Structure 1
């Protein structure tokens, strides 16, 4: 232990106190021993440190900070160096705001397009997500603070996220859902990790000895700190035994007392507590740059320009019929769409940033060189239909050479705590597009959203530019691509299916009341579409340029692959060359191809470069459930270089010696997995894959409500008051949406509807403790007066103890 002497000087109570927050955003300090508190702040794409009420959770406006493009956007750059630059600037601003731990980046997989938090995550591919995350971490931690990779692990839906049990086979867990975290730990060397809310195969993730000790600490050698998601602690002692050091936010000392009692009762060995304290102290003292450095304001304008550069390199050109882009000099454009006037530039919820500057399209035209003949709103932002706005837009469109149509998803559709209901953009925007097409077919759509959407309307646009969520300078970045000042080089970090129903996880998402079954196994995203040969709208890795690239002269050896890449067009540009590997053996089920490397290369017009993509320890491995370890199958492997997962330009083969491991599966019992057609996997076959019977998926209505049951499940409560409360919440949500207060309606779903009863204690900063929750449960379970007396009694006892 690094801090053995300091720990020896602590009382048991002091050690326990360090394991929980001081308030909602700070860790506990011990003044007599010179141990300061740390400040933790949201910030995957910008610092969110609340300007007021910093001791409360809330969603108050943050101190102004640069709002960089979200992770889903920057992943489209396929440029880890750019990610590291973003991290450096995030770290610099964190230092300015005295933030020790920046809560990001998020590396959960995009298992399903409807996950409401996909805008915060990089990719459907763990290799790309891991490489981008590691670059962010290196940048953030270069400034002397800590990144905090989240959410560990298998947190791929927002619905019931604090109670859902993710049922995943071990191989899928390792290859798909843990690989990005592994890269973040081993290559990024993150100092802290945030555990997720959910259960994994029956155990809360922060209490899972297999996840936290066997894999994270054991296999990966992680020495850093694990922090709960806010309110994510279930059994505090079990969390410490697993190695989850810091519980956030504060519980008003309640779980401190649980720790002390557990040590004195022999349930928690004090040496285990000492190890946890030691790791937390290391995080505190290695982020001391926050305290040492004098306050220096960051250069707001410079950071804004960096944000613009990042957005420019992350924009994806999806369609360019008749070469409508870049816009020809002198073309008159009509600008239509609410998002042109008021940019859609970030997601909603815990990561929302208060930008230092905010560019809007209509304010940036003069410097772009594009000739605008006017602007019309065209549609209501939150979906309400307005024929008059469409009429005005059509009148303007009739006078233009080209229409720039700004469409996408609104802020309350993509949000922390909620999943999307469908993959469509609002009907009122499609009505507008249909009307414009009848007037003037020269339409360039600029799409703003943080996740995949269906596009049955794509035949009515000649150009399609996807800006994702481009941060505070995204509007200007888009104009620079439209004008041709910037040659687009972004490529999709996720697949765009033709229809949501084509998604392999669609039949199993978001799961039932108790469990979410990952029956599709390793086949997510392009791994499924390419293997099952399902047509898609846009494949993984796809993106157009204003120039063309030619691939040639592939050479493969045991160290990697080398090839020539030439810019055969007339414009300098950047190309993302992608390495995919496919095993030709059929003894173990595998995707047709998997991303194993990539390189982003700048090439001037008419020039060519030699590109080398090396193999690494992940190129040929698979996880063998019989040996419980990573193995290599002896086989011929297809080595593919492509411009996307569906556009393979070069191919060779390589025989790789294996590790001689026994075959892990009985092929005859897993026909869906060996074929790749996993959209209708039966329960018996899935049980064969996971090696155990499936747990009950629906809530048992015959039993009383408990700590881990949610407010939603009060609909089954024996107590009439609980059922009435449930219906009151449902009505309030419906009514708020009806009157247009969608943000308030979302807040009800985020903070109340899916909150487990224990969360009432864990998220109120000690205002409500677990004995008081016992009283609430008694009332919910039909013993109203007994429960009310118990609640009031425990509240009196709590207040008396606080006064004492």
Structure 2
């Protein structure tokens, strides 16, 4: 108890000190304190603060002092830096140097939908709303570095951490990450975009060396990070655990110095992933600025000065004092961290933020509603017509299981979470009877890092009894809604582990097959952040991709299922029929062992399916609506363009159905002849348009030569070759409605 009390006191003291220093700068010493004058340019303030710091203060400034904080300089009134997970909500407070909970009663946050759902909105306005809301919550809790968003590419459907990312396409990820960053950072909170780079699996994530050609690196795996730096102006980036070119990515010469800083001009802070640092000299010279960790290099129970043993702590100081290394690199690191401080904790004009508000709950619900994807709707089973429906059977553990707890570092202590069953009952009220059967038993636990759901999911009945009960309820119902899929347990959608197969766990396939036999009005809602196999796809008339939707999950799903909201989400990754329809698995290169070779190269996701003429289960960009849309013929404002020109494509889209809806109009570009192999087509534009019944609007896309370019690894430059191209416009990568030819001179 005494240890927990001391830890809690440390946290309170630290936060109070940070607040006092950030507001008053009362401890500043010396004449003409330029660094405290926020009318001066940041570069001047940085240099002034830097020259006032001692060597020991500089060393302390670039490594952790606790699980989630690094020191400031109290003598100079420079506050500490406080980080927080994560990309979907602000995690609860933990003890000073333990993962155990601090026991606060006012740190229960709004849980926002996972980033797979955000990306599935294909709506940049939703991304800005998400970032703004999350930034307000981080700011209220006095965090100045948000450890997110995650933008690693969806290479395999077995990656356990895909649910935290934005899909398989670099263009979509690039466009969706920028507003998120701007929304967060307008609150004086830095985004820490992660994980840079090539972190596409969890198996052996600390030791696997990724072997990938430069074309795939630059065309597939780097564009979203480049956009985060050059368009989003993210103030920090997190290195990844894996190795590339034999060096760990948290101190990787090629990624951090050559690409991030020299090619892209990144001015911000490179933060290590927790425990991602392995060598002091590499950390000094290869681009790392701020080291965090857990049980790293001497951080063990009972050692009071464990953080001083970090690679960028005493070992660095000893090298400087011995004359083996100079202080040039140290000063550069301190400059960058100081700059981040002046943008965040030392910014007197930072808004105060807000936390777990009704406004944030409504934002979370809106994003969830827009991201839900209607995959199939044979016979118009959806939306459920409550005037003709007396009984709704809800079946499946995922209808009741809380999903905000678990999954790794994105696990949350949410203020509340509306389950799908609760959401349906709330919405239906007395209009219909809602009955429930569990159907299957999956994960009965509900605890992660001391945050407990409080649910008792223990089950004594056998699988046969559960199946029989579900079938009997399905026979009595007018409509059956099955909530299944994955959860955030190990080896499903969770950090630290990859999935073991594409199939659904817990014998759900059999259950769905049996339910389809007894009720033709069956809806399967797949709760997951990953594609799953669907051997029953032809027997189940309606399928919805439900994601992990956060606090408002049940309300958002209910609103779509009964038709209060017309679904408008689109898939951000390909659902393959079988694993070998995916390029990484066709090549036998997932997850690899000590090395993993990206033999599929640039042909990731729909690019692989197009190249090999593989029909997916559901295509990238696919998503249905309760209304229908008609595309006119695309027109171009010119037939040819030079390298300095732009070309604009226009297409009329009409709502030909009976209700208002939103359609995501997608532009793909096809290079008809190239000196190097290229994908059949690549996404280069998208717009979400809202249309009332009978209404039509003109959607325009303007591109320049960058949309036509590929990366020539022999020349190490982007090349747009003259020749013939096609602009393909459609509703998904597999549903092209109209196209136009043009030429690059």
Class of the TM-score when normalised by the shorter of the 2 chains: 0.7 to 0.9
Distance 1:526 1:360 in 2: 33
1:620 aligns with 708
Structure 1, residues 62-87: CA drift from partner, whole Å, max 9, x if none? 82111000001111100111011010
Query: What SS does structure 2 have at the residue aligned with 1:451?
Result: coil
Query: What SS does structure 2 have at the residue aligned with 1:64?
Result: coil
Moved more, 499-508 or 609-618: 609-618
Distance 2:280 2:709 in 1: 36
| Equivalent runs, 1:58-457 vs 2, <5 Å | 58=100, 63-249=107-293, 252-254=307-309, 255=311, 256-265=313-322, 267-288=324-345, 297-298=354-355, 300-328=357-385, 329-331=387-389, 332-344=391-403, 348-369=407-428, 371-382=432-443, 386-412=463-489, 413-457=492-536
Tell me if structure 1 keeps the 8 A contact 2:423–2:557. no
1:654 aligns with 742
Tell me if structure 1 keeps the 8 A contact 2:422–2:554. no
Tell me if structure 2 keeps the 8 A contact 1:168–1:201. no
Structure 1, residues 590-634: CA drift from partner, whole Å, max 9, x if none? 110111111011111101001112215631121111221112111
Query: How far off is 1:261 after superposition?
Result: 2.9
| Equivalent runs, 1:748-763 vs 2, <5 Å | none
Task: Find 1:41's aligned residue among 84, 95, 100.
Answer: 84
Tell me if structure 2 keeps the 8 A contact 1:43–1:351. yes
Distance 1:503 1:355 in 2: 35
Distance 1:447 1:260 in 2: 53
Distance 1:21 1:493 in 2: 36
Query: How far off is 1:10 after superposition?
Result: 2.1
Query: How far off is 1:295 after superposition?
Result: 6.2
| Equivalent runs, 1:491-510 vs 2, <5 Å | 491-506=570-585, 507-510=587-590
> Are 1:55 and 2:97 matched, yes or no?
yes
Moved more, 342-351 or 480-489: 342-351
Query: What SS does structure 2 have at the residue aligned with 1:536?
Result: coil
User: Aligned-pair RMSD on alpha carbons?
Assistant: 2.0
Structure 1, residues 92-111: CA drift from partner, whole Å, max 9, x if none? 00011111100000000011
Tell me if structure 2 keeps the 8 A contact 1:147–1:190. yes
Query: How far off is 1:264 after superposition?
Result: 4.1
Structure 1, residues 241-271: CA drift from partner, whole Å, max 9, x if none? 1221000038521232222233345553322
Distance 1:520 1:542 in 2: 23
Moved more, 131-140 or 59-68: 59-68
Query: What SS does structure 2 have at the residue aligned with 1:147?
Result: strand
Task: Normalising by structure 1, report the TM-score.
Answer: 0.79
Query: What SS does structure 1 have at the residue aligned with 2:382?
Result: coil
Distance 1:65 1:547 in 2: 36
Distance 2:103 2:233 in 1: 31
Task: Normalising by structure 2, report the TM-score.
Answer: 0.85
| Equivalent runs, 1:659-670 vs 2, <5 Å | none
Tell me if structure 2 keeps the 8 A contact 1:304–1:357. no
Q: Name the CA shift for 1:238/1:387 in 2 (closer, same or farther; >3 Å).
A: same
| Equivalent runs, 1:523-538 vs 2, <5 Å | 523-538=603-618
Tell me if structure 2 keeps the 8 A contact 1:579–1:596. yes
Task: Find 1:606's aligned residue among 694, 710, 729.
Answer: 694
Distance 2:369 2:501 in 1: 29
Distance 1:319 1:606 in 2: 23
Query: What SS does structure 2 have at the residue aligned with 1:537?
Result: coil
Distance 1:208 1:442 in 2: 55
Distance 1:169 1:266 in 2: 39
Distance 1:636 1:527 in 2: 20
Moved more, 458-467 or 382-391: 382-391
| Equivalent runs, 1:654-733 vs 2, <5 Å | 654-657=742-745
Tell me if structure 1 keeps the 8 A contact 2:79–2:345. no
Distance 1:373 1:200 in 2: 53
Distance 1:211 1:380 in 2: 44
| Equivalent runs, 1:746-785 vs 2, <5 Å | none
2:302 aligns with none
Distance 2:126 2:627 in 1: 22
1:569 aligns with 657
Distance 1:578 1:201 in 2: 36
Query: How far off is 1:637 after superposition?
Result: 1.1
Structure 1, residues 486-528: CA drift from partner, whole Å, max 9, x if none? 0000000000000012111014343443111111110110011
Moved more, 143-152 or 508-517: 508-517
Distance 1:579 1:59 in 2: 47
Distance 1:472 1:482 in 2: 18
Query: How far off is 1:300 after superposition?
Result: 2.3
Tell me if structure 1 keeps the 8 A contact 2:108–2:356. no
Q: Name the CA shift for 1:143/1:293 in 2 (closer, same or farther; >3 Å).
A: closer
Structure 1, residues 270-317: CA drift from partner, whole Å, max 9, x if none? 222111110111112211278876866535222112111111000000
Structure 1, residues 21-56: CA drift from partner, whole Å, max 9, x if none? 111100112211222111000010101132x41432
Distance 2:694 2:158 in 1: 42
Distance 2:572 2:407 in 1: 21
Distance 2:248 2:401 in 1: 41
Distance 1:539 1:60 in 2: 45
Query: How far off is 1:147 after superposition?
Result: 0.6
Tell me if structure 2 keeps the 8 A contact 1:44–1:102. yes
Tell me if structure 2 keeps the 8 A contact 1:347–1:469. no
Query: What SS does structure 2 have at the residue aligned with 1:258?
Result: helix
Mind listing any 5+ residue stretches in structure 1 that lack a counterpart?
Answer: 658-804
Q: Name the CA shift for 1:261/1:422 in 2 (closer, same or farther; >3 Å).
A: same
Distance 1:442 1:290 in 2: 57
Tell me if structure 1 keeps the 8 A contact 2:627–2:661. yes
Mind listing any 5+ residue stretches in structure 2 that lack a counterpart?
Answer: 1-42, 294-298, 300-305, 445-458, 639-645
Query: How far off is 1:58 after superposition?
Result: 5.0
Query: How far off is 1:91 after superposition?
Result: 0.5
Query: What SS does structure 2 have at the residue aligned with 1:350?
Result: coil
Query: What SS does structure 2 have at the residue aligned with 1:39?
Result: strand
2:32 aligns with none
Query: What SS does structure 1 have at the residue aligned with 2:496?
Result: coil
Query: How far off is 1:203 after superposition?
Result: 1.6
Tell me if structure 2 keeps the 8 A contact 1:159–1:510. no
Number of residue pairs aligned between Structure 1 and Structure 2: 656
Query: What SS does structure 2 have at the residue aligned with 1:394?
Result: helix
